Amino acid sequence: MTRGEAEEIFISVVMSGESAAIELTLPETQVFRVLIGRCLKEMEKKNRTLWLKARDYGVEYKEPYALIRKLDNARYKLFKVGDKGELTPFVKAGSPE
């Protein structure tokens, strides 16, 4: 896989706003991740608006597919620790909760 092919696949998925699966082996997926990482570093400087969308996507490997999907922003649960050690949900600023 060339860098151009990797960029084309990744950017088309990012622009669609959907998730995608590509049939790749584990070594090919590792190369794909490296190529996308390099692309993202360059994109941060040259095309900031696309980079802001693209940084929310991740590449996972679930045999026999490489999955490109948007990461869940709320995947890490945050809690406040009270004076007595009790945990209460942490509400982010601007959150509807």
pLDDT score of 88: 84
pLDDT of res. 71: 81
Question: What pLDDT tens digit does each residue of the chain (97 aa) get?
Answer: 889 999 999 999 999 988 899 999 999 999 999 999 999 999 999 999 999 899 889 899 998 999 999 887 666 677 888 888 888 887 765 555 5
Could you tell me the two tokens for 73?
């922003």
Task: Tell which residue, 33, 25, 32, has the closest CA to residue 5.
Answer: 32
Domain count, the chain: 1
8 Å CB contact between 39 and 3: yes
User: Angle at which helices 26-46 and 3-16 pack, to 10 degrees?
Assistant: 70
**Segments forming the whole domain that contains residue 16:** 3-70
Residue 19 token pair: 């998730």
Residue 94 domain flag: no
**Rounded distance, CA 20 to CA 13, Å?**
7
Report the residue count for the chain.
97
Q: Residue 92's pLDDT is what?
A: 62
In a domain? residue 87: no
